[in-house]
Chains A and B, each alone.
Chain A
Amino acid sequence: MAQTSNVFKLAVASGKGGTGKTLLSTNLASFVSEFDDVLLVDLDVEEPNDSIFVKGLVSDVYPQFKMVPQWDVTRCDLCGDCVDICNFNALVKVGKMIVVYENLCHSCHACSELCHKNALPMKKHHVGDVSVIKSQNLTLLEGRLNVNEEQPVALINNEHSLVNQNWSKYNYQIFDSPPGTSCSMVASTGKCDYILLVTEPTPFGLNDLKLAVDAAKLMKRPFGVVINKYGSGNKDVEEYCRDNGIEVLGKIPFDISIAERYSKGELLLDKHCFRSVVSSLYNKLENIRISQNG
């Protein structure tokens, strides 16, 4: 784990959507890749966008599955125990049939293993893919949930496991996380060494930052804030951070040309004012990483 090696797992999260998680994750990863190997993991599996900015060839695709029960009509005696056992309403008895709602299944295996007739063997159910995209020193793992799936958490957990199995040598790992503060955000950030919360200086940004701070505290993860679109809106986010002793690690200026370049799917490290924010953020994160390892 991170504590026993030099691996630094950095989560980039936010309460509110559209505050700049992807902007920051992709540019920070690209910055690090100028002098070191870096792994960028897109955990916003519902709407993955990192591959729009990190252009490279897909070198591998790992299909991702969750386990779900499959009803075996030849073995079932229709006792209905499985329907009572399932806490997620994923099994329903309809006439002389047991119907499995795979979307609702949490893969707990209880129905399958407690069925006295072994009539619900578990099978693999494809939920999405993880693609590996290489761009020189930067390796991007992109998780992509199938559009007919509703539950991102299984895929997010799989992606974390895949990183630990195959990419644990990468010292710098950046996890671009989904918006919100619910189960998918917790699954994405809960085991990281540090959480960067990206926000914007508006009442919506502040409200959702507070929720994200609550989540980070609940998970007992250290965290800091980056304010995007700085200069628009008001000073409330800064005051909130100051009053609560939360470190602001960077401020990305509000600049319509940043928005325009982002809209085209471009990285922004050739823009001087933007690069200096990323570079100084990187230095601050290095200090955090060194102090954590020390």
Chain B
Amino acid sequence: MDSIREIVVLSGKGGTGKTSVASSLAYLAGKEAILADCDVDASNLHLIMGPDIIKKELFYGGEVAQIDIETCIQCGKCKEVCRFDAISFSAGVHTIDNLSCEGCGYCSRVCPTGAITMMPRLSGEFYISGIRNGSQMSHAKLFAGGENSGKLVATVKKNAYRMAKERGCDYLITDGAPGIGCPVVSSLSGAKVALLVTEPTMSALHDLKRVLFVVRRFNAIPLLVINKSDINEAVSEEIKKFAKSEKIEHLANIPFNTSFVESMGKARIVAEENQFLKGIFESIWEKAKEVADSSVQN
């Protein structure tokens, strides 16, 4: 078996515990796995993994239009074709709102004097770091209002796969974004297993069903963990029933525990702080590995 097996942690709803789970699995995996933070919009793994940045690069996500006021003849053709209301005309000049511009380049193609240039848009940074457990982590920061988070996720993953190959790691543990949009889709590409972390709330169950659809589309094998499971036992049961009907293996319930927040406050990982929870995470990690391994053999 030589291919790298990726396990991506997703949830649909935010705040269910993806990062706590991903960091705990990485802690247990040690040098067996590379860790990738693909929640580039609001990344948190770096707060508890103690990254020691080895390499940092700028991320250019798409382009942004720029008008040269010297060559612009104020004809307004650019404003006419822009579908994003990014070009405004006031006090006799046309200007571009960087936040609204989606970088399609249509304006630059119709400008009769070549006054509009498409510039690379600096929208984030990405890093390769050594982490406390002896392994490495691929992560990034998308600047506020950044576009193309999907492309940045793809960059983080590409680096993570390369790192795993170089260091002979069998696994890649990926912390995903909430929702079902481009960063989630991008984080699922190539993943063998999607570890779905949910909580027993009606909102989380609703969101789980939607993200499951995306997981299935990418042929990743879904596995389920119910976090804070004792907050509402009835909803927990409902989620288990749903998982059964969907033939999703339910790996564990994690009862509500203040250790999650406490360890975060110490910049520590839950599994290294709490022996009871460590036991639960060990069983999750063993099972997730087993399923990921079998997906490669078949």
Contact = CB atoms under 8 A, between A and B. Distances in A.
Contacts of A110: 81, 104-106, 109
A273 to B, nearest CB: 19
A81 B19 CA distance: 44
B77 to A, nearest CB: 12
B145 A49 contact: no
A260 interface: yes
A263 B13 contact: no
A218 B178 contact: no
A218 B210 contact: no
Given A15-B42, A150-B150, A260 B14 contact: no
A97 interface: no
Contacts of A265: 201-203
Interface in A183-215: 183-186, 190, 202-204, 207-208, 211-212, 214-215
Given A108-B102, A264-B235, A219 B145 contact: yes
Contacts of B83: 107-109
Contacts of A219: 99, 145
B12 interface: yes
B202 A114 contact: no
Interface residues of B, number: 61
Given A109-B81, A207-B44, A259 B231 contact: yes
A203 B180 contact: no
A184 B286 CA distance: 37
19 contacts: A47-B180, A47-B203, A47-B210, A49-B206, A87-B103, A109-B81, A109-B106, A148-B213, A148-B217, A152-B181, A179-B178, A180-B179, A183-B149, A184-B181, A203-B264, A203-B265, A219-B145, A256-B231, A263-B200
B82 to A, nearest CB: 8
A80 interface: no
Contacts of A203: 44, 47-48, 264-265, 267
B41 interface: yes
B62 interface: yes
Interface-central residue, A16, A109, A232, by most chain B CB under 10 Å = A16
A106 interface: yes
B16 interface: yes
Interface of A is mostly: loop
B115 interface: no
Interface in A168-185: 178-185
B232 interface: yes
Given A108-B83, A219-B145, 11 more contacts: A16-B14, A22-B203, A46-B179, A46-B180, A106-B104, A108-B106, A113-B106, A202-B261, A234-B265, A259-B228, A263-B202
Contacts of B142: 181-182
Please provide the 3 A-B residue pairs with the shortest distance between their CB atoms, ordered closest to farther. Answer: A17-B14, A18-B15, A108-B104
A162 interface: no
Contacts of A184: 181
A207 B99 contact: no
B49 interface: no
Contact of B105 (A87, A185, A233): A87
A233 B210 contact: no
A128 to B, nearest CB: 11
Interface in A102-159: 106-110, 113-114, 145, 147-148, 150-152
B146 interface: yes
A26 B118 CA distance: 42
A240 interface: no
A179 B261 contact: no
A262 B19 CA distance: 22
Contacts of B252: none
Interface in B240-268: 256, 258, 261, 264-265, 267
B235 A263 contact: yes
Contacts of A233: 261, 264-265
Interface string B174-192: 0001111110010000000
A85 interface: yes
B54 interface: no
A17 B175 CA distance: 14
Contacts of A183: 145-147, 149
A88 interface: yes
Nearest to B236: A263
B42 A150 contact: no
Contacts of A108: 83-84, 102, 104, 106
A260 B231 contact: yes
A106 B150 CA distance: 14
B214 interface: yes
A19 interface: yes
B202 A215 contact: no
Given A52-B203, A147-B213, A260-B231, A18 B13 contact: yes
B145 A186 contact: yes
A19 B42 CA distance: 13
B12 A47 contact: yes
A202 B210 contact: no
Given A47-B210, A183-B146, A183-B147, A87 B109 contact: no
B1 interface: no
B99 A17 contact: no
A204 B14 contact: no
